[in-house]
Amino acid sequence: MNTQSNVMNESFDSQRIAPVSMSATRPMYWSMRRELWESRSIYVAPLAVAGVALFGFSLSSIAGIWEKPLRLNPAQPQAPYDMAAGLMMLTGIVVSVFYCLDALHSERRDRSILFWKSLPVSDVTTVLAKACIPLVILPLLTFAITVAMQWLMLLLSSAVLLVSGLSVATLWTKLSFLRMSWLLLYHVLTAHALWPAPIYCWLLLVSGWPRRATFLWAALPLVAIAGVEQIAFHTWHFAAMVGSRLMGAAPTVASTSPDMFPTDPMTHIAPDHFLSSPGLWIGLALAAVFLAAAVRLRRYREPI
């Protein structure tokens, strides 16, 4: 009898399935996938704006609005492309702000936190995945959509010039599409990802604190600090600093004109100047503090 029992135990042991080891990056990957599933505005809004911009450019090209500047001023054929890129970057800022304000608050409001906290995903992984959306995913997505949109604009401009009996050689020579794309990527990653990191992380932190009116709770401390500075010192340095962080006014380029667009052919990038800026590292340190506070806040906040 004992022999039969031992044989059966050995049979069960041989059929036992070993636990599957999970990669350390897999929870982060699926957490980011979850954010894209639940917040479709992350990619729907930039695609919609790009479609509207491309439609408007098509109408203007057909009507000959952009044909005249290309013919009379071939040294600056990138003007409509810069306008479209600026519109896309502004869209990325708006989407990032609203996403951060809703990231942790919506999780508490619909009580899904009771389900997601039951999964083997830590609070650190969850918060970092949410922070990666405005700091990594949205800038890269904005860049990819902008480049695709500008490429279609270039093809459309070439078609309009050919139909008008004009040469496209000047357009393709002066536009420098590859350099313009490279400058756009550098500007997006530096001025719209690293530079505004403390602003986005602050909004992410605040999104997990109040029961309602997250925008009000996020804006009131900033307005109060700016108001106290104005009353006490008659200056607006704090408000200007927050505005420059949010709009991406980072020391990333060295150009001949302060009003020059980042993808202008005369723009010269200055990564050493950007990386040696104390404001960058102070901002990243504040962003790390805000993220650590957001992790702790998510761990102990209850559903709404």
Give the lowest-confidence range in 23-27, 133-137, 247-251.
23-27
Q: Is the dihedral of CA 52, 55, 57, 59 positive or negative?
A: negative
Give the lowest-confidence range in 43-47, 113-117, 279-283, 299-303.
113-117
Domain assignment present for 91: yes
* pLDDT for the residue 254: 59
* pLDDT for the residue 271: 85
Domain assignment present for 100: yes
Predicted confidence band at 1 (pLDDT cuts at 50, 70, 90)?
Answer: very low
Count of structural domains, the chain: 1
How far apart, in whole angstroms, are the C-alpha atoms of residue 247 and residue 192?
Answer: 8
How far apart, in whole angstroms, are the C-alpha atoms of residue 104 and residue 101?
Answer: 8
* pLDDT for the residue 7: 46
Residue 21, pLDDT > 80, answer: no
Span 102-115, mean pLDDT?
72
How far apart, in whole angstroms, are the C-alpha atoms of residue 19 and residue 267?
Answer: 55
Domain assignment present for 15: no
Residue 304, pLDDT > 80, answer: no
Domain assignment present for 11: no
Give the lowest-confidence range in 75-79, 121-125, 193-197, 254-258.
254-258
297 versus 263: the higher-pLDDT residue is 297
* pLDDT for the residue 163: 76
* pLDDT for the residue 300: 78
* pLDDT for the residue 267: 75
171 versus 246: the higher-pLDDT residue is 246
How far apart, in whole angstroms, are the C-alpha atoms of residue 88 and residue 139?
Answer: 10
Domain assignment present for 7: no
pLDDT tens per residue across span 247-287: 988 877 655 455 667 777 667 788 888 888 999 999 999 99
* pLDDT for the residue 104: 87
Predicted confidence band at 122 (pLDDT cuts at 50, 70, 90)?
Answer: confident
Residue range(s) defining the domain that contains residue 74: 27-32+42-300
